[in-house]
A = this chain, B = another copy of it.
Amino acid sequence: MLVQTLKGFRDFLPIESQKRQYVINTLKDVFSSYGFEPLETPALEYEEILTGKYGEEGDKLMYRFEDNGGRRVALRYDQTVPLARVIAQYQNELPSPFKRYQIQPVWRAENTQKGRFREFLQCDIDTVGTTSPLSDAEILAIISDSYEALGFKNFKILVNDRTIFSTITAVKVEELPMVIRTIDKIKKIGREKVLDELIINGISTERATNIIQTIETQKPPVNIANILSAAKEFGIPDERIEFVPTLARGLDYYTGIIIEVEIDGYTVGSVGGGGRYDNLIGMFAGRQVPAVGFAFGFDRITEALEEQKLFPENLVTTKALVTIFSPKLLDNAIEASYQLRAAGIATELYLDPQAKMEKQLKYADQKGIPFVIIIGEDEAEKNVLTLKTLKTREQKKVTLEEALKELQSA
């Protein structure tokens, strides 16, 4: 038997998992500070709840099967359709507006050759039930605070109004979806190629040039101006938000502001996106339910933090390893580890009383534990302990109280 994970699926060993937890906790703290609350939905749903909601592509990439009871079921494909179900199912129990965050894995049978994963974490915030521009501005404020809390210095929140495209008189109604999809590529493939693609799609050179020029010179419409002015009151620095009239976002369902975030120096692409989508969340409730939201690109954010060396150094929470000098001195070691832990210092006790000191130090090194404590016969007699800093290999004899102080401030 091959002992392996499925293609597109990942194990997260401790260091990677710690990093993920750090990102999740940082984001949750920001979300909570604005009164957003957590929601969890099941991994499996009735197939008919999910199919037909993500286009042909979605139905194809969805993990679907028949369960033991003969029910057609499907694995969570995103967190928006489950949110729509929740809104319909619990309408009388939820506050309005309903401001929720949701951070759960989704599954898509993507082509892994494109570097895509088949299981990945989605991290969404959405405000459901209001058309107030304040809710759009609040989303922008959370975005701004979130990337800042993660330590990114130079990032840009790009915004546009999706309805801008339907006001361009040079675009015929039936051409609109194609034009949006094509303009959306302007950053990726450049202006010239977008022009070519419009022409290939049957628009004359003159009209295509006119369309691009018209879009490029759009000024923020009044709804965007209102949102941006409120966003300023929310404390977002002016230079962090940019109105980009060519920003299109591929998805069909946006009805107002659209948002993307880019980080300076991270070239893979945008690290999050969202916008207002007033006609989607009501799909199961049978009425219009306005909504605005944003999806943080979890894997890209993690990658950007790694590239820009922004992960905190002390993600390993263990501060000290208490070694066991000899089986005879085991009780002294256990006692010291207990005292340190009782004082709030995450402390590991080495578990094998027979192991050589060298092996114990190596273990601390491998786990990235910064300090090691040694209690030999001499230390035991004098009621002190040796505190060793692994990075510098410096060591000194101190009392337990002195060690506590040093570790607490380290």
Enumerate chain A interface residues (CB-CB to B < 8 A): 1-6, 9-14, 17-18, 20-21, 32-35, 37-46, 48-49, 60-61, 63, 65-69, 71, 73, 75, 85-86, 88-90, 93-97, 99-100, 105, 107, 109, 118-119, 127, 130, 132, 134-135, 138, 230, 233-235, 284, 316-318, 321, 330-331, 334-335, 338, 341-342, 346-349, 351-353, 363, 366-367, 369
A35 contacts B95, C-beta separation under 8 Å: no
8 Å CB contact of A13 from B42, B61, B75, B90: B90
Q: Could you jot down 22 A-B contacts, CB within 8 Å?
A: A3-B89, A5-B42, A6-B45, A11-B40, A11-B42, A12-B38, A13-B94, A14-B100, A18-B37, A35-B369, A42-B119, A43-B43, A43-B107, A44-B63, A44-B119, A60-B68, A65-B66, A95-B367, A97-B351, A134-B353, A138-B349, A235-B338
Q: A3-B85, A341-B34 are in contact. Are A119 and B43 (CB under 8 A)?
A: yes
What is the CB-to-nearest-CB distance from A148 to chain B, in angstroms, rounded to a whole number? 12
B68 contacts A109, C-beta separation under 8 Å: yes
| A347, B352: Cα distance in complex, Å | 50
Q: A3-B49, A35-B347, A284-B3 are in contact. Are A13 and B93 (CB under 8 A)?
A: yes
What is the CB-to-nearest-CB distance from A364 to chain B, in angstroms, rounded to a whole number? 9
What is the CB-to-nearest-CB distance from A44 to chain B, in angstroms, rounded to a whole number? 6
Q: Which residues of B contact A65 (CB under 8 A)?
A: 63, 65-66
| A151, B356: Cα distance in complex, Å | 39
B95 contacts A363, C-beta separation under 8 Å: yes
A13 contacts B33, C-beta separation under 8 Å: no
A46 contacts B4, C-beta separation under 8 Å: yes
A352 contacts B134, C-beta separation under 8 Å: yes
A351 contacts B32, C-beta separation under 8 Å: no
Q: Which residues of B contact A338 (CB under 8 A)?
A: 233-235
Q: Which residues of B contact A69 (CB under 8 A)?
A: 109
| A400, B41: Cα distance in complex, Å | 39
Q: Which residues of B contact A89 (CB under 8 A)?
A: 3-5, 11
A35 contacts B348, C-beta separation under 8 Å: yes
A233 contacts B334, C-beta separation under 8 Å: yes
